[in-house]
Amino acid sequence: MSSTTHDTHHEHGDHHAPPYGITRWLFTTNHKDLGVLYMSFALLMFFVGGAMAMVIRAELFQPGLNVVDPYFFNQMTTMHALVMIFGAVMPGFTGLANWLVPVQIGAPDMALPRVNNWAFWLLPAGFVLLLATLFMPGGGPAGGWTMYPPLVLQMGDAFPFLIFAVHILGISSIMGSINIVATILNMRAPGMTLMKMPMFVWTWLITGFLIIAVMPVLAGAVTMLLTDQYFGTSFFNTAGGGDPVMFQHVFWFFGHPEVYILILPAFGIVSAIIPTFARKPLFGYSSMVYAVAAIAFLSFIVWAHHMFTVGMPLAGQLFFMFATMLIAVPTGVKIFNWMATLWRGSITFETPMLFALAFVILFTIGGLSGLMLALAPVDLQYHDTYFVVAHFHYVLVTGAVFAIMAAVYYWLPKWTGHMYDEKLAQWHFWLSVISVNVLFFPQHFLGLAGMPRRIPDYAVQFTEFNMISSIGGFVFGFSQLLFLWLVIKCVRGGEKASDQVWEGAQGLEWTLPSPAPYHSFETPPVVK
């Protein structure tokens, strides 16, 4: 965003070299090490969740196939969502925040380094608990990631483990967010006012507040489920005067801001990449900041658009419909700003730019189908069909996941000191972008024709689109192995990356050498 004068950024004394061995990774409080741990864990969970998606698409390849037991199929749809949301996308963004926020604001490290370490190590613990439920009597959750009662209560002995896992993952998220917010508010370099911060830092500041606000709501909801099951309360049990629809209200009060938690950092990434490869400053910086803040605010007042079918009064339907449609305004501002940044720019199409452009186009498709779902009378028809599945996968796969991939390609040379293989990366991009559309676009048609979601079998007229979708899914899944190989290859060596890496890249992180030293800023840089 601004020019910098940097004093001695780093000294090459031995006391600044990273420690070696397994203890380095177990006990590290260094923000870069923790960024690597978060992103490595996210990549592992991306493949675990992806394997579950492969099971789903194999079962749905044709009607009448019994690849897996129907109950196990429902466990896979549920676990796939939980693993991808809490294990892949959120830790992926948190890893990027750990690595980039301190170097983008000129801070020596995160504000709370030990909290940072603890927040990370809670994640593997939570996922061991969560995945262990699949091997317990009664099995893992099979009622959808929303955990609606009474469906989720059929798990038997595994149920408290699910609740405990959700609590652990929530604590991890809250601690990580407090750390990021504290770092941004207290540790910016001299001269870096709020309106000079990079967009990625802004989006994470707002995301951090969202997580701190809504994770305790999820904790409350699942705790009430637990007390209903084991302590005789009747929050959601109709036999005792409770209301299962209340769970939906409490859950979606968390769940709708959560989907913005999963996408806001992506906006920051794309706002860093597009100006670099268009070789122009970001168009309308302050309007971008206000748009992100407006989206975050509105995300709190639209939760019941997930619930139009529960028998809501007309006034409620109208309020939630109009409030939801209002989110299209700040979102549209951002998309037009990106397009204006591209307008008459000197554009080149390296892999990060390709993923960023695919993000803008495909995320917009997901946004438009979301606008259709915002219309209450329309949603009554589409609710719980594959149209909804297509909508949120366009937002979360071609949105959040593509943005994370764009970020990895963009900053990987700065992290490792090596350039990735551009030719292979382009193969990865084209395979991914074609197959992901073959995978999810037909699901719009399936949903419009009435195919329900979370069902292991279906009427014969849905066969062709399901076969096309499954083929796209397998190609997309296997092309991610190419991504894994690219990252490993880049870490192991290759062409030396320059300090600037990308011509026209703006930001403090590009003033550091490649690879960035273990301790970035011995003396804070001064932002002019």
User: Do the beta carbons of residue 331 and residue 295 sit within 8 Å?
Assistant: yes
Q: Is 167 in the active site? A: no
User: Do the beta carbons of residue 480 and residue 47 sit within 8 Å?
Assistant: yes
Q: Is 7 in the active site? A: no
- DSSP structure string for 452-511: BSS-S---GGGHHHHHHHHHHHHHHHHHHHHHHHHHHHHHH--SBPPSS-STT--SGGGG
* Number of residues written out for the chain: 528
Cα(469)–Cα(344) distance, integer angstroms: 37
Task: Enumerate the β-bridge partners of residue 418.
Answer: 496
**3-class SS of residue 146:** coil
Q: Is 334 in the active site? A: yes
What is the distance in angstroms between the CA of the first residue and the CA of the last residue of the chain? 10
Task: Enumerate the β-bridge partners of residue 496.
Answer: 418
Among residues 32, 256, 280, 519, which one is catalytic? 256
Q: Is 172 in the active site? A: yes
Q: Is 305 in the active site? A: yes
Tokens 């769970």 sit on residue: 247
Q: Is 444 in the active site? A: no
Within 13 Å and on the Cβ side, how many CA atoms surround 376?
A: 20
CB neighbours (10 Å) of residue 503? 11
Among residues 109, 379, 421, 509, which one is catalytic? 109
Within 13 Å and on the Cβ side, how many CA atoms surround 172?
A: 24
Strands (E), 199-308: none
Among residues 32, 280, 306, 414, which one is catalytic? 306
Tokens 């959808």 sit on residue: 144
3-state secondary structure 63-119: CCCCCCCHHHHHHHHHHHHHHHHHHHHHHHHHHHHHHHHHHHHCCCCCCCHHHHHHH
Residue 192: phi, psi to the nearest 5? -90, 90
From the list 42, 167, 100, the residue with the least C-alpha distance to 505 is: 100
Among residues 4, 172, 385, 470, which one is catalytic? 172
Among residues 258, 379, 421, 509, which one is catalytic? 258
Task: Enumerate the β-bridge partners of residue 452.
Answer: 385
Among residues 32, 57, 280, 305, which one is catalytic? 305
Among residues 4, 271, 385, 514, which one is catalytic? 271
User: Do the beta carbons of residue 161 and residue 136 sit within 8 Å?
Assistant: yes
Q: Is 16 in the active site? A: no
Which run of H or of E encompasses 136?
Answer: none
Among residues 57, 80, 414, 418, which one is catalytic? 80
Among residues 173, 276, 299, 432, which one is catalytic? 173
The type of residue at 321 is M
User: Do the beta carbons of residue 390 and residue 357 sit within 8 Å?
Assistant: no
Among residues 453, 463, 522, 523, which one is catalytic? 453
Among residues 38, 99, 202, 260, which one is catalytic? 260
Q: Which two tokens stand for residue 127?
A: 């996922």
Among residues 28, 59, 99, 145, which one is catalytic? 145
Q: Is 383 in the active site? A: no
Q: Which two tokens stand for residue 183?
A: 């770092």
Among residues 324, 331, 369, 511, which one is catalytic? 331
Among residues 32, 57, 334, 383, which one is catalytic? 334
User: Do the beta carbons of residue 217 and residue 250 sit within 8 Å?
Assistant: yes
Q: Is 258 in the active site? A: yes
Show which residues are catalytic: 80, 109, 145, 172-173, 256, 258, 260, 271, 305-306, 331, 334, 453
